[in-house]
Amino acid sequence: MSLLDVKSNGIRVLVLYGMGGVGKTTLAKALCNKLVGRFECLSFISKVREKSANGDGLASLQDKLIHDLSSGKVPVYSNSIAAIKELVREKRVLVVLDDIDNVTQLDLLIGRREWFFEGSRIIITTRDREVLPEHLVNAFYEVRELGSSDALKLFSYHALRRDKPTDKFCDLLVTWARQSISPTVSN
């Protein structure tokens, strides 16, 4: 939250990076849910890498972005970049681009940071920090694996709806761990 500094009027771009499956998208969703009320419009574009690999994938992602930011009143422009530029300069927006893997995707989805209205925020998730030019980004945040204690708390919260597992569950977990790491003997 502090890296996004939502009280400032500057345009901020935050990149969440880390290995696949570590929780970048989940963190971006949590930030988005916490911040959505502070912006006039929101667009969450998920799975950019996967969707842009399809034939007209980037064009359909541009259409989604335009639709989200225009509140259904799609501006008439000869190209999507011009429409996006017009929309983001008019209002304070929150844009989340999930799973970016090359700078061309950014160029075609958000253009230039200077186009955005004061106070807008852009959150980008990626596996590879190096694909994003530093001049475009205000802050990088590495999302790392949870330690075993925090991982157990998170699992317990989602699976058992409690802060920590019961003693019986912990005993079962220890038994399972011992069995899974002990070598198997073959005859």
Quick: pLDDT tens for 15-74: 999 999 999 999 999 999 999 999 999 999 999 999 988 877 888 899 899 999 987 666
**Do 132 and 163 lie in a common domain?**
no
Confidence tier at 75 by pLDDT (50, 70, 90):
low
- Specify if 132 maps to a domain: yes
**Do 73 and 92 lie in a common domain?**
yes
Q: How far is CA 129 from CA 83, 120, 125, in A?
A: 28, 22, 9
**Do 137 and 57 lie in a common domain?**
yes
Residue 187 is predicted with a pLDDT of 47
Domain containing residue 41: CATH number: 3.40.50.300
Structural domains counted in the chain: 2
**Do 111 and 158 lie in a common domain?**
no
**Do 128 and 67 lie in a common domain?**
yes
pTM over the 0.75 mark? yes
Residue 177 is predicted with a pLDDT of 72
User: Edge-to-edge, what's the strand order for the sheet holding 41-45?
Assistant: 41-45, 93-97, 121-126, 12-17, 139-142
- Specify if 7 maps to a domain: no
**Do 116 and 94 lie in a common domain?**
yes
Q: Which domain holds residue 159?
A: 148-181
- Specify if 1 maps to a domain: no
pLDDT score of 126 more than 50: yes
